[in-house]
Structure 1
Amino acid sequence: MANDGPVEHGYPHLETVRAAITALYKRLSYDTIQTFATSVPPVDVAFCDTDDLYLGSQRVARELVRHYRLPDARLIVGFREMTHAANVELAAGPEYFVELNDRFRTHRRDIGAALAHEIMHVYLHRLDLSFPGTRDNEILTDTATTYLGAGWLLLDAYREDAASSQKLGYLTPEEFGYVLAKRTLLFGEDPSTWFTSAQAYTAYVKGMARARQDAQQPPLTAAGWAGRRRYTRDRRHAQDHRRAGPPPASGGPGVPYAFSPEGGHGPLRVSFPCPTCHQRIRVPVRGRVRARCGLCRTVLECDT
């Protein structure tokens, strides 16, 4: 958390941000990401000075848990003096202890932003998705928070003038704007009316310009010779499968489908969505299966 100090600008972490978005699609699937088409609305995380500090924090935490579809997660929020904005204890659950910086006692409108980041740590912990190193893992967390509909709070917490500054998270304001713009281009949702910070809106506009540049770049320009060959091979393989006819189930939302592991080795597996959080569960084809969703802990039984 930058507090009355210099705020870094530009796109120094852009490659890691792009890798984080790719990792989300690989781990969650396109279908699951589509379930986050609606962001956390401002009314659900609004916090005024007349609200009770602890009851209000618990209310905002519950709304973010609901948004991330973590029904079996209970957040206990406390406050203490610390260097960072917040910290969460990643235990086995279902209870998780979140500590917020004491300055949030008087800056209550930014409590939602801090909680959005910390609860995303819980979400990624349950997904078993992480990047090596603290820096890259925090960038993954910021990117996932923003791309899945709660990161506009982190960008809105950015304020800077001649006398003071504040920024939450590890991404620069322009990088937050970039990820938020990527989400806007995907879902058609405009978050600009939610900003209370003029600097946040400016960073979002800059991020949108950078995101639109991505769509103007030729594909595979940085892939190299081997990457282009691999893409051509995979595309030809997909075309051969289409000529052979569609599979019994296409794998759309709510539809189970069978697939082979990468490389074609190992037993055939079946994938089906969790009815609670829509995260896809993959198990070997072996008859009656009892599986537990690693995200929301729902127990499922099915015939494979």
Structure 2
Amino acid sequence: MSTAGTTSTADVTGTAETIGRARTMDTAETASTAGTKSAAGTKSAAGPTGATAATTTSTTSTATTATTASTATTAKVAGTAGAVAHGFPHLDTVRAAITALHRTLAPDALQAYALSVLPADVAFSDVDDLHLGAQRVARALVRHLRLPDARMIVSFCPMDHAASVELTEGPEYFIELNDRFRTHRRDIGAALAHEVTHVLLHRLGLSFPDTGANEILTDTVTTYLGAGWLLLDAFREDALTSQKLGYLTPEEFGYVLAKRALAFDEDPSPWFTSPQGYTAYRKGRAHALRDAQQPPLTTAGWTGRHRYAKDRRHARESPEGPRPAYATSGGTSTVPGSNSNTGSGRGGGGAGYAFEHGPDGLRVSFPCPTCHQRIRVPVRGRVRARCGLCRTILECDT
């Protein structure tokens, strides 16, 4: 479960552009990750390898094991066969990962992942040859994640984790799958999706310094770029047994999958073969929809608007200091590279709105419901704002 590389998230400052009545453009709050910034980790519309949208099929290799260079880093995906944790315990880290991904890939580059990997591309039946089938699924995921010059060499061996990949300079990457996948072939695509995404992040230079947070980043990116629904579909649970792949809870997988569905106008519901996975998706989707229903957005409910009006009145009556943020959900993010809320005392991806006094009067900052970059706009009534990071246009009643 080592981090995939030593570089940090790309330090790209986003802006919030107000449209219409609001004439000013404020810089949204950002925080960079400590570490070395590589050229591959900067925003690029060309994608992780500099290749154009038309990718070529990678060269196949037989499933063999080989000794890698001494500088290789091993990244693993967890598999759970016991009790499965539920809920949203990693939500702040998930939101920070979504923000980091948007900072690393330009909106045009993200649009290249608008279509998810299709079930037919990763289907694996019991009559397929084990090694040739694993190579075929790996090639499909390489093409989907736009790594045309990467070659995945897949083997099977006894191990504690579900899978692991050795991250080297490439272009060959050696993936080991747990021996149990020899007889549980329907989930091979899920395990490979996580490992191939490790390679993508390794090439982008995108990582979190903490091992656990880095694995959550990998699961989040896998899902947001259209291959993570396989991980959620691998979740199965009944009264006697349970199985889950990955580090996110099923509901958190559903949350990220719903975020992707809203961003790319996609419905993954027909792809689920696991009833428990589909239920978790519905729960995560309900949580994701609430992100777009928080003040000062015009879609906020009556209770939220009433609370916002009260806090705005208090902020106007107390010009000596900022009004603490109203936390709509989640807590303070502890992952470097997450959003900050300067002066409010309550920052992070899960924080809600916060008022502050600037040279042009009262302003309010709040997280973008799409990428969770904090946006700052003047308090002037109805305002249309555009997130400078993901370009989402938001209708606000400030």
2:10 maps to 1:10: no
2:53 matched residue in structure 1: none
Corresponding residue number in structure 2 for 1:206: 283
Structure 2 counterpart of 1:216, from 286, 293, 301: 293
Alignment partner of 1:133 is 2:210: yes
Tell me by how many angstroms 1:157 deviates.
0.3
Cα contact 2:257–2:281 (8 A) shared by 1: yes
Alignment partner, residue 88 of structure 1: 165
Name the counterpart of 2:135: 58
Residues in 2 aligned to 1:218 and 1:104: alpha-carbon distance in whole angstroms: 47
Mapped to 2, the partners of 1:138 and 1:58 lie a distance apart of 24
Q: Is the contact between residue 163 and residue 191 of structure 2 (CA under 8 Å) also seen in structure 1?
A: yes
User: Aligned partners of 2:286, 2:240: CA distance in 1, in Å?
Assistant: 29
SS in 2 for 1:163: coil
Deviations, residues 225-244 of structure 1 (Å, cap 9, x unaligned) = 4575487798689xxxxxxx
Structure 2 residue matching 1:216: 3-state secondary structure: coil
Q: How far apart in 1 are the matches of 2:247 and 2:80? A: 13
> Is residue 193–residue 227 contact of structure 2 (8 Å, CA) maintained in 1?
yes
- Residue 260 of structure 1 corresponds to none
Q: CA shift at 1:3, angstroms?
A: 3.9
Counterpart-to-counterpart distance in 2, 1:35 and 1:156: 23
Equivalence for 1:190: 267
Which residue identity is paired with 1:128? G
Q: What is residue 180 of structure 2 aligned with on the other side?
A: 103
After TM superposition, the score normalised by the length of structure 2 is 0.57
Q: Would you say the 8 A contact 1:177–1:205 is kept in 2?
A: yes
Contact 1:195–1:201 under 8 Å retained in 2 = yes
Letter in 1 for 2:161: H
Matched, 1:146 2:223: yes
* 1-structure distance, mates of 2:211, 2:89: 16
| Count of paired positions | 240
CA contact (8 A) 2:81 2:244 kept: no
Counterpart of 1:77 in structure 2: which amino acid? V
2:148 is equivalent to residue 42 of structure 1: no
RMSD: 2.3
SS of 1:69's equivalent?
Answer: coil
Amino acid across the alignment from 1:209:
A
Q: Percent identity?
A: 69
Q: Determine helix, strand or coil for the equivalent of 1:183.
A: helix
Structure 1 gap ranges (5+)? 238-251, 253-304
Distance 1:58 1:170 in 2: 24
* The one of 103, 127, 130 aligned to 1:26: 103
Q: Which residue is equivalent to 1:163?
A: 240
Show the counterpart of 1:122: 199
Letter in 1 for 2:233: D
The letter of the residue matching 1:186 is: A
Deviation at 1:32, TM superposition (A): 1.1
* C-alpha distance in 1 between matches for 2:99 and 2:377: 22
For 1:80, the aligned partner's letter is C
Q: CA–CA distance in 1 between the matches of 2:131 and 2:326?
A: 51
Q: What TM-score, normalized by structure 1, do the two folds share?
A: 0.74
* CA distance in 2: counterparts of 1:3 and 1:37, whole angstroms: 30
Give the partner amino acid of 1:183.
R
1:176 corresponds to 2:263: no
Q: Which residue of 2 aligns with 1:68?
A: 145
Mapped partners of 1:203, 1:224: distance in 2: 35
Q: Given the superposition, is the C-alpha separation of residues 235 and 158 from structure 1 closer, same or farther in structure 2, using an over 3 Å criterion?
A: closer
> C-alpha displacement at 1:172, in angstroms?
0.1
Q: How many Å separate the matches in 2 of 1:201 and 1:236?
A: 38
1: CA distance, partners of 2:122 / 2:257: 18
Secondary structure at the counterpart of residue 159 of structure 2? coil
Contact 1:3–1:164 (CA<8 Å) still a contact in 2?
A: no
| SS in structure 2 at match of 1:38 | coil
How many Å separate the matches in 2 of 1:120 and 1:18? Answer: 18
The residue identity in structure 2 corresponding to 1:192 is S
How many angstroms does 1:34 deviate by? 1.3
